[in-house]
Amino acid sequence: AVVIEIEGVTKLYRMGAETIHALRGVRLSIRRNEYLAIMGPSGSGKSTLMNMLGCLDTPTAGRYDFNGKNVAHMDDNELAEIRNREIGFVFQTFNLLPRSNALHNVELPLIYAGVPKHTRIERAREALEHVGLGDRIHHRPNELSGGQRQRVAIARALVTRPSIILADEPTGNLDSKTGVEIMALFEQLYEQGNTIIVVTHEEDIARHARRIVRLRDGLVESDAAA
Ligand code: ADP
Ligand code: ADP
């Protein structure tokens, strides 16, 4: 099944009298259970495409269907709904609550989703076990290594059972060995049926994915198996 279908997507930014073409007709189709890296030099449109894929922004023109629903014309509330239900975000800086332990950080999206307390705890615990942190659930972020913090963030992304995991430079704050471990964790999640999209500018990281989409000047320059 196709999860994401993007066709002829353009994005313009106005800067005073100037118009910047950040995306110029991008075409991209992502099926359920893919492990994809999006690459490209600085200014090629990665962040713009990432914001589009994450339903944080809509295209200036073109088609964007998410699970068969046209999101290109949705309003902010409808977009937030898709983000909360369908997308698990992973960030370069982990974005964990510093005063909360791992369990509470992972439980958080389930609070927003209105899941009852005992179910939340059970699912948060399961998600942490799933990423290999079953013995760290009461640790706060500053009591964990960088790689462990990113695992907590990945557990938080997984706990709502989203359609896609969207990771923005997830290894950018990690040493290269830990970065490769995080990509191996994504591979394991992919093998279990998840759909993983990683935006990165690091070749060594991207080659751990199964498919690499390269952007240049707002266009898909190549799209091939890794
Ligand atoms: P990348 O993430 O690959 O570095 P971006 O998507 O950030 O690329 O940027 C693509 C182009 O769009 C660049 O020329 C950038 O300067 C421009 N751009 C990005 N965001 C904005 C914005 N909010 N306002 C104006 N121009 C922008
Ligand atoms: P709401 O409109 O319901 O308050 P938000 O816009 O605050 O929702 O966030 C909805 C979802 O989008 C959250 O899961 C949040 O983690 C994610 N999100 C918000 N801002 C960003 C961002 N800049 N980059 C990536 N994800 C974001």
**127-141, pLDDT tens digit by residue?**
999 999 999 999 999
Cα distance between residue 208 and residue 170, in whole Å = 13
Average pLDDT over residues 164-180: 97
Cα distance between residue 153 and residue 146, in whole Å = 11
Cα distance between residue 203 and residue 180, in whole Å = 12
CB 189 within 8 A of CB 196: yes
Cα distance between residue 92 and residue 191, in whole Å = 23
Phi, psi torsion values for 211, nearest 5 degrees: -145, 140
Cα distance between residue 48 and residue 50, in whole Å = 5
Phi, psi torsion values for 155, nearest 5 degrees: -60, -40
Whether residue 26 has its Cβ less than 6 Å from ligand 1 = no
Whether residue 100 has its Cβ less than 6 Å from ligand 1 = no
For residue 42, how far is its CA from the centre of ligand 2 (angstroms)? Answer: 24
pTM of the model: 0.89
pLDDT band at 222 (very low <50, low <70, confident <90, very high): very high
Ligand nearest to the CA of residue 14, numbered in listed order: 1
Q: Looking at this predicted complex, what is its ipTM? A: 0.70
